[in-house]
Homo-oligomer: A and B are copies of this chain.
Amino acid sequence: MTVTALPEPALPADLNPILAEACRAASTAARHAWSALDRQARAEEVRMGADGTPTMRIDELVEDAIVAVAEAHRINVLSEEVGFLDHGSARTLVVDPLDGSANAAAGVPLSCFSGALVADGTPVEALTCWLETGRSISARAGVPVTYRTSGRTALAGSALSMLRPKVGARGDTTGVWTALSGRAGRVRILSTSCLESMLVADGSIDAFADPGSDTHRLVDLIAAQLIVPAAGGHVCDAFGRDLDFSHDLTRRYSGVVAASRDLAEEIGALITATI
């Protein structure tokens, strides 16, 4: 296919400069990987990540670029592949360097930089940027945002994105997946949790869920935890676990990101009852 020049991230002018610099570094590294490496080279598994899943070459390239920004600013990092890097700061840059890694490696143009600044254990500012288009969404704690969720409160007829059905730590999620799909009006699997959360925040879809496979880590959800409630929505774990900041990336969740608290709770209850 014709590949148009991939755009720079379109970021708000008042975004925290560390988040902005980290996102631009991620974008530059990803664009380099797309132009210089073929699919096989991008997808090569180079080591095991801190989250317990393999790190692909494209993950490593993007994360390295972000870590360099954090080091230059002497801020701690918590990231999917390297885990926690203590630079002696009260602030931590928590990032999913390349959400939708499998998309990015294969050439399906749906991948994101997503991160949050955490100060003394509390997220204070968050950004998700869809790398292939440069579109971004951000929020700062306590500051109103201009975007709104759809406000939908019931699953029946809703536009729902999900992770694919699979065998997870609690067993096969196919039954839950089909139960949710059967109630939804529209169903999508984009394979990029952070982009799907952006679409909930701006009202393009009503909800996104991991249907009980406990695939999510904190880094998949932390930006949404600030961005989605600011827009009127709700983020939770389907099984009610706290989504508190922690350095332990082996902790897993089944995230539910929804246009309203009622919708998140209905989806979570259905997952808990069906799995």
Contacts and interface: CB of A to CB of B under 8 A. Distances in A.
A190 B164 CA distance: 12
A215 interface: no
Contact of A188 (B11, B133, B181, B190): B190
B106 A159 contact: yes
Contacts of A189: 187-190
Contact of A2 (B3, B108, B136, B174): B136
Nearest to A132: B133
A205 B106 contact: yes
A230 interface: no
Contacts of A204: 39, 106-108
B202 A107 contact: yes
Q: Give the interface residue-count category, chain A.
A: 35 or more
Contacts of A61: none
A145 to B, nearest CB: 10
22 contacts: A1-B136, A1-B137, A1-B147, A1-B201, A1-B202, A2-B11, A4-B7, A106-B159, A106-B204, A106-B205, A107-B199, A107-B202, A108-B204, A108-B205, A109-B135, A164-B186, A165-B181, A174-B181, A178-B178, A187-B189, A188-B191, A189-B190
Interface of A: 1-4, 7, 10-12, 39, 102, 106-109, 132-137, 147, 159, 164-165, 174, 178, 181-182, 186-191, 198-199, 201-205
